[in-house]
């Protein structure tokens, strides 16, 4: 297989031949255009990165589809974690805990989430508010906004993913500032 030797032309031919098929396969599984694009691009990056191992494969096509399926499973695991974090936050927010430290943490988290929500497109922001703040079902939102149920689900999924990335970025920044503060104390 020429790609295992580093042939960019061979890689391009594989990319052109398999990108549409992998994208269709991935979209059928995750129902998100954004996730599909990211997953399939990641598959091809990994393919190029580990191209030296491709010469030993018995079925290249099975390998590609298996890699894609595994990335979709990882995507769903990530979505489950995101949903769990947001659910915990919403539960804590609704429990009305009054300890000062918890209240400050909750306010900071609310502020970060509000900041992330404010950066969404108007449609995604509206769908998120109807779902999370008004408690409407996907069917109710779809009917209200004259969208398909799958569009509502995709927008919510993408919004939760965006919020998670926003929170992770803020947490990384906070960790960095904490380390910097400790270094400056010494």
Q: pLDDT for 121-138, tens place per residue?
A: 999 999 988 988 888 899
Q: pLDDT for 40-76, tens place per residue?
A: 999 999 988 888 888 888 888 999 999 999 998 888 8
Class of domain 96-185: mainly alpha
Ordered by start, the domain boundaries in the chain are 2-77, 96-185
Residues of the chain with pLDDT under 50: 96-104, 186
Which CATH code, of 1.10.150.570, 1.10.1740.10, 2.30.30.100, 3.40.470.10, is assigned to 2-77?
Answer: 1.10.1740.10
Please tell me the distance from the alpha carbon of residue 119 to that of residue 104, in angstroms, as a whole number: 23
Please tell me the distance from the alpha carbon of residue 40 to that of residue 17, in angstroms, as a whole number: 13
Please tell me the distance from the alpha carbon of residue 73 to that of residue 79, in angstroms, as a whole number: 10
């Amino acid at each position: 297989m020429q790609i295992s030797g580093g042939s960019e032309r061979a890689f391009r031919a594989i990319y052109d031949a398999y990108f549409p098929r992998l994208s269709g396969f991935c979209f059928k599984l995750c129902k998100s255009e954004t996730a599909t694009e990211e997953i399939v691009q990641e598959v091809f990056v990994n393919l190029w990165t580990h191209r030296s191992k491709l010469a030993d494969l018995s079925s290249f096509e099975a390998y590609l589809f298996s890699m894609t399926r595994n990335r979709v499973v990882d995507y769903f695991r990530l979505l489950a974690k995101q949903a769990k974090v947001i659910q915990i936050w919403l539960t804590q927010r609704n429990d009305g805990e009054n300890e000062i430290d918890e209240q400050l943490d909750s306010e900071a988290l609310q502020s970060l989430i509000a900041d992330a929500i404010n950066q969404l497109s108007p449609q995604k922001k509206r769908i998120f508010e109807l779902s999370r703040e008004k408690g409407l079902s996907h069917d109710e939102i779809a009917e209200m906004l004259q969208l398909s149920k799958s569009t509502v689900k995709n927008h919510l999924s993408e919004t939760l993913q965006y919020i998670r990335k926003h929170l992770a970025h803020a947490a990384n920044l906070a960790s960095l500032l904490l380390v910097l503060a400790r270094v400056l104390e010494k």
